[in-house]
Amino acid sequence: MNTFFVWSGIALLLMMVPIFYRMHIGPTAIDRILAVNVIGTKTAVLLVFIGTIFPGGRIEMFVDFALAYGLLNFIGSLAAARYFHRSKAVAGEIDVEGEAEGS
């Protein structure tokens, strides 16, 4: 069972690499945030993998880590989304009233 967990964890890790590629080329900033969000969710899952194959069986510790990491990831992507929501108005490129013509 442990070998299966190790190999599926490695598969999960390898599948994150294409998302890193999207993070690197992503045409817009939100694309990159999206990639970071996906990787963050998968890292929380990966922590459960690590906890299960951890020698000595400390899964109860790693489950807490995964929960906290998922929470932080959610708050982080919400904060980034809120920031970009207003970024154009903050940067002064457009005034908020006439935003529709600019987009």
Radius of gyration of the chain (CA): 19
Cβ 65 to other proteins shortest distance, Å = 11
Footprint of other proteins (CB under 8 A):
1, 4, 8, 11-12, 15-16, 18-19, 21-22, 27-31, 33-35, 37-38, 41-42, 44-45, 48-49, 52, 59-60, 63-64, 66-67, 70-71, 74, 77-78, 80-88, 96-97, 99-103
**Smallest gap, in angstroms, from Cβ of residue 34 to other proteins?**
5
